[in-house]
Structures are given as structure tokens and as C-alpha cells.
Amino acid sequence: MAPRAALLLAALALPLLLAAAAPASSDPGPAAVTGVFQVRRKFPPGGGGNIAALRAHDGRRHGRLLAAADVPLGGLGLPTDTGLYYTEIKLGTPPRTYYVQVDTGSDILWVNCISCDRCPRKSGLGLDLTLYDPKASSTGSEVSCDQGFCAATYGGKLPGCSANVPCEYKVVYGDGSSTTGFFITDTLQFDQVTGDGQTQPGNGSVTFGCGAQQGGDLGTSNQALDGIIGFGQANTSMLSQLAAAGKVKKIFSHCLDTIKGGGIFAIGNVVQPKVKTTPLIADMPHYNVNLKSIDVGGTALQLPADVFKTGEKKGTIIDSGTTLTYLPELIFKEVMLAVFKKHQDITFHDVQSFLCFQYSGSVDDGFPTITFHFEDDLALHVYPHEYFFANGNDMYCVGFQNGGSQSKDGKDIVLMGDLVLSNKLVVYDLENQVIGWTDYNCSSSIKVKDDKTGAVHTVNSHDISSSSSSGWRFQWHKSLVLLLVTVVCSYLIC
């Protein structure tokens, strides 16, 4: 049995953890309104070969989050079957289809423009990419720098601005990628929900970026998409624009199903199930909350009071786009010690730098539940099948990561990703500045209310199957549906 001191030191780095956790005589073993948008996975499903690539993707997204924000919303929280999602939208008149990544961290919708330099024309995902052409849409119009949207975006009139000068944008992310272009106002097309399982064509006017130049990852074709749709809190987001127009509530929710696949993503006031909430921290660019304590198997971890303190590059962020969950080094060590307290005889294996082990029984029966406690007595229960993920026959890997070894800037941040958010209905109520969740069967349905009319309708989970060409075969059997819920009587959304 390894002594506690050895395990504490071992948790500082994976190689040391592997050595300290294994019995001394053991061989460590071989490396083993109203609208509907169908949201699909960005990465194809597969076996253990995907997990390193997904963590690398997490790393890039983590860097973007800390710098300027680019956190994709959605996902199936299993590294071996991936959970990063994109959605299909239609812009312009006549409408054309664009595939955009759903993103809780950024605040604008942008797509690659016809004049774009270094914009991919093909995608390794097997998708047909489309460049937006403002002149090809009868409803499209360029936003000038002296218009209200531009002034509001930049906090006032830009220096040197004059009539007919385009309102430009530029976003530079922490991983070095960037997008530059100008703003356009045009029609966003979607399927308007008119009843349970019934839709009809609907649309709304939105202002979005027309990307003229992309750099870094955004300029490569391996996993290229047409753009990004931001669900951040700023007034420039699609959600904020539709809410300002009185078409939707500034509330959205998601339920990611790792049991049967699929899930729900809805905009509007969820009335069933009831969800308890915790305040969002004011004046923060992301979905920051106050984490108060952690217990493992009902026993509180003894952690310094300031370890959860919120500040610049500190605190806790709810990030449904990151696949894994990242914990500051001290928290990571204590959690790992408590989780494996009754399993000192387990032999660990390094599988693409993940901490993995053989276990023939039920992990839910053999390992403790981890509970994160937040302000206003909101708890997040994370069960063993949610913080471990299966990777082959009786092989399980740990979904928690030591944030100190993943990102210098993020070493003091608790970043809670898909693995711990899956199988829960998570509600982002931006009107009341709270976020909440409850354990839920994400393959079932929720009820959403139109506050103006009082009508309540059922939103079901969705599960879409299709395939693609271009050398990769996909089974899109796990997907989300995004439904916009209006507050306007004439545009009933459910």
C-alpha cells in the first residue's frame, strides 16, 4: 500500500502518479419564434485513438478561453466518442447553409466571407463549406462604422469613422488563431416550432461577422467549419440580438446524453424539470460561479479557503464545450487520493498520457460520488461513470486533469467540462444572472413556457443518424436540437 505522502507527490505529474500508485513489486504494464438547429459532433466517433486528439483540442480551447474566449457549446462528454458539436444554420435570401461551431465563450456569429483570404474550401469532416456572399443575398446589408451596432460594440464611435466605412471586427485567440472581417446584417433562417414536434419556416434579422481573413487553426481544413455562433453574454451575440428584438427569452439550456446519445438544447424558460440555481459572478467574461467546497463519498476535502477564490485567471468556469474537467494541482491531488483511497492495489497504465486502469466490476459500485458545492446550496453530483470513461475491455481512464500541467495561465482555474455536465439539464438564465442544473434523463423531454402567452410545450431529445463521404465515415447518432422559444404571441415557440 503506497503511503499518503507518496501519493500526494505522485499526483503532481502523471508519470510519478503511475509509479507511486502501483505496488512496488508490480509491473506497471504496457501502455494500453422559434427555431430548430440540428447540432452535430465536430469529431468522428472512435476508440482510444481519439482521446489524445481531444485533449489537445481541449488545450487549444482552454488557451482561447483564457485569452479572448472561444468555448464551443455542446458535446457528448465521452473522449472516446467525442462531444464537440456544430450546428447547421441558413443565412441570406435565398437562404444558403452554413456549418458553425456552437460556442458559449464568444459573443458574435461569424462565417467565412467570399473575399476571405486563407479560408478553407474543404473540410476534413466531410462537409461542403460555403463562403457567404453579401451581394448574393437580397436581404443582406453592410454595417457601417457610424451605425448603432458598431458604436455599441466598441463603446462609442470609432476614430476616423465616416459614412459608408465598414464596421470591422477582429478576434485573436490565445492559441494564436484569429478571424478578421466586417459586420453584415442579414436574415437568419430556422425551423419555427409551432407545437409538439411541429415546425414551420421562420426567420429573424441578425448582425454577424463576414470573415475576410482567418489565421491559425481557423485557416486550416482538417476540421474546418464555416464559422462560429457565439452564445456569450454580450449584446452582440445572436441570443442577445433576438432577445432585444423581443423574440426570445435570454435563457438557454442544454442536456447532453451520454447514455443513449443525443440531447436537448433550448432557448426559453424551462418549467419542467425545476432547476435550482447559483449566481453568476458579475463582470466576468465567461460563466463564472462560486465553488465553495468538494466532498468525495460524503467526506469533505480539507482544502485551503482561498483555493476557490475568484479573480483574474482564478475561480470556477462552467464550460460545456471542453470535454474534460481541469482542476488546480492541489485540488486534483486531493480528489485523486480520495477517489482511489480504497483501491491502493490498482495498477495504473499510461494510455496516451491518461491515467487508466483495469477494473472488471461496476465503477459506480466500486468508487465514490464526487460532489461540488456552490453558492446558494447548489450541488453538482459527479458519479464514477461520469468522471471515468471506458476505453476498451474493462479499461477505465480518469476524466479529471491536473490543470497545473495543462496550462500555465489556467493552473488556478476549475474548468468544468462535458464529462461532469453530461446527463444533467443545465440552465443559463442570463436575465436573472444565474445558472443551475439538475440530474436528468437527457433522452427524455423538457417543458418550455412562453411567458407572454402562458403556453407550455414539450421539447424532446433528438438523435440524428447520417453519414459523410470524403474518406471519413461518421455515425451522427448523437446530436442536439436547439430550439428558440419566443415571448411574442404571434411567434409561439416551444
- By annotation, the residues acting in catalysis are 103, 319
List the end-to-end C-alpha distance of the chain, in Å, as a whole number: 56
Give the helix/strand (H/E) hosting 334. Answer: helix 329-339
**Within a 10 A sphere around the Cβ of 28, how many other Cβ atoms?**
15
The side-by-side arrangement of strands in the sheet containing 348-351 is 348-351, 354-358, 395-398, 388-390
Q: Which three cell numbers stand for residue 210?
A: 463576414
Long-range contacts of 455-460 (CB under 8 A, 24+ apart): 455/492, 455/494, 456/271, 456/272, 456/494, 457/193, 457/195, 457/196, 457/492, 457/494, 458/196, 458/494, 459/264, 459/266, 459/483, 459/494, 460/196, 460/197, 460/264
**Within a 10 A sphere around the Cβ of 464, how many other Cβ atoms?**
15
- How are beta strands 85-91 and 178-195 bridged, if at all? antiparallel
CA distances from 258 to 78, 324, 405, 411 (A): 7, 14, 27, 28
Q: Are 122 and 222 in contact (CB under 8 A)?
A: no
**Within a 10 A sphere around the Cβ of 492, how many other Cβ atoms?**
20
The DSSP bridge partners found for residue 299 are: 296
**Within a 10 A sphere around the Cβ of 45, how many other Cβ atoms?**
18
Residues 6+ apart with CB under 8 A from 350: 14, 15, 18, 28, 31, 356
Rounded to an integer, what is the distance from CA 163 to the centroid of its chain?
39
Rounded Cα distance, 76 and 323, in Å = 8
Rounded Cα distance, 52 and 446, in Å = 34
